[in-house]
Amino acid sequence: MKLRTLFTGLFVVLIFTHAWAGSNDARPFDELKPPQPTKSGSKIEVVEVFWYGCPHCYSLEPYLEKWLETKADDVEFRRIPGVLGKNWLPHARAYYTAEILGVLDRIHKQLFDAIHGDNKNIMDEKGLRDFFVKQGVKKDDFNKVYQSEEVTDRVKEAFIAGQGYNLTGVPAIIVNGKYRTSAGMTGSNQKLIETVNQLIDRERNLARN
């Protein structure tokens, strides 16, 4: 029985790998060499790297939210704000400020909506402070955390992670520290989600064997 399970797992991996081998189409993911560290323990980690100023990140959000509704228990999802330029830093600080204050449910989607749905110019500390306050966050709490050493450390960690992922743009999805994919590589947000699920299955089968 164990031998049959082994062959079944190897067959799945081989079919998955062969799907793009010799194809005229570009493979819809890149393998990261070397693989990058994860924070999910024994679970399969899926990381979204995003920027609040990115319209493509905004358009991906509904697909991710729908995927999260059916995410398997052996998969751990987390977000990392991209830091690919100085003008991205305020939004990275905003994300970690909301995370530390425990108000991501009041900030994350709402900030995306304000910038891309309502065309609000929220790109600097003052604009972000005003936005947080409108969402019910105390001004003093925002000020205390936004420029804190803890936020600075998390932003630095996000920058280092992005370097390890060889990021050239966002949104990007990193699966288990081994694979980087995006809608630009797969052709659409729906196919991106499908590719993420295939990569998860690949990791799951490798772990079993």
Mean pLDDT for 13-38 is: 69
**Helix/strand/coil for 84:** coil
Query: pLDDT grade, residue 25 (50/70/90)?
Result: low
> Is the pLDDT higher at 4 or at 131?
131
> Is the pLDDT higher at 90 or at 20?
90
Residue 200 CA to residue 15 CA, distance in Å, equals 14
Q: What is the pLDDT of residue 17?
A: 44
Q: Could you tell me the residue range of the domain that residue 90 belongs to? A: 2-208
Residue 49 CA to residue 67 CA, distance in Å, equals 16
82 φ, ψ to 5°?
-70, 145
E-strand spans in the chain? 30-31, 44-50, 75-81, 172-175, 179-181
Total domains in the fold of the chain: 1
CATH code assigned at 35: 3.40.30.10
Q: What is the pLDDT of residue 135?
A: 98
- Which range, of 9-23, 30-44, 46-60, 84-98, averages the lowest pLDDT? 9-23
- Plot region of 136 (φ>0 → left; ψ -120 to 50 → alpha; else → beta): left
Q: What is the pLDDT of residue 18?
A: 43
Q: What is the pLDDT of residue 13?
A: 42
Tens of pLDDT along 145-200?
Answer: 999 999 999 999 999 999 999 999 999 999 999 999 999 999 999 999 999 999 99
Eight-state DSSP code of residue 27: P
